[in-house]
Chain A
Amino acid sequence: DQQVKQNSPSLSVQEGRISILNCDYTNSMFDYFLWYKKYPAEGPTFLISISSIKDKNEDGRFTVFLNKSAKHLSLHIVPSQPGDSAVYFCAASLSGGYQKVTFGTGTKLQVIP
């Protein structure tokens, strides 16, 4: 049972425009959400996160929005740059106890120059 879902396997965006990556989750107990970025032949790297007590977190060009009632989060990248081309993984975890992070299947973003 996949508790974190990214239904778009790929996305293409023009340089300078906004990229919006979406993620849905099914486990209402999740209370911390993260985005990871992965380049080919490298491991995922942490990008941005949000606690369930917030609905928005911003870090430079990256903003994550959380809609708890819809069990949905999204990552906005503005403006998109060619170097942002990568696979983006949505992830979720439960606070308390040990960090068992559940990942989605990823969305491959291509930013076209």
Chain B
Amino acid sequence: DTAVSQTPKYLVTQMGNDKSIKCEQNLGHDTMYWYKQDSKKFLKIMFSYNNKELIINETVPNRFSPKSPDKAHLNLHINSLELGDSAVYFCASSHQTGPNTGELFFGEGSRLTVL
């Protein structure tokens, strides 16, 4: 059983389109994240939700909108896609109780290519 799963794994689309990436975790964690890995391989946090509540919102264009219907799911919707949005998007989850250890469990990534 995959602990953190993302769909789709690959997404090729035209500029200006709207697309969504879905993420589900079966670890019972209460916090989920979206990270973006750009062409320079820099892995940068975008959003974090704790029990469906947005807790981290980095400087991300408002074309990106996360949605958490429940604590096991965190979806990412992107409007009006631009070339610069091409990247690998990683979903992750963690257990929030106890000391902050930073141990995250990642999905396999969703490679988005905008043409």
Contacts and interface: CB of A to CB of B under 8 A. Distances in A.
Contacts of B105: 46
A42 B3 CA distance: 13
16 contacts: A32-B101, A34-B101, A34-B102, A34-B103, A41-B108, A43-B90, A43-B92, A98-B48, A98-B50, A99-B94, A99-B96, A100-B56, A101-B102, A103-B43, A103-B44, A106-B41
Given A43-B108, A99-B31, A99-B94, A105 B102 contact: no
Interface of A: 2, 32, 34, 36, 41-46, 49, 87, 89, 91-103, 105-106
A89 to B, nearest CB: 6
Q: How large is the interface on B (under 10, 10 to 19, 20 to 34, 35 or more residues)?
A: 20 to 34
A67 to B, nearest CB: 19
B78 interface: no
Contacts, number: 74
A12 B55 CA distance: 40
Given A91-B102, A98-B55, 4 more contacts: A34-B102, A43-B4, A49-B101, A99-B48
B39 to A, nearest CB: 11
B42 A49 contact: no
Contact of A98 (B40, B90, B96, B108): B96
Nearest to B91: A43
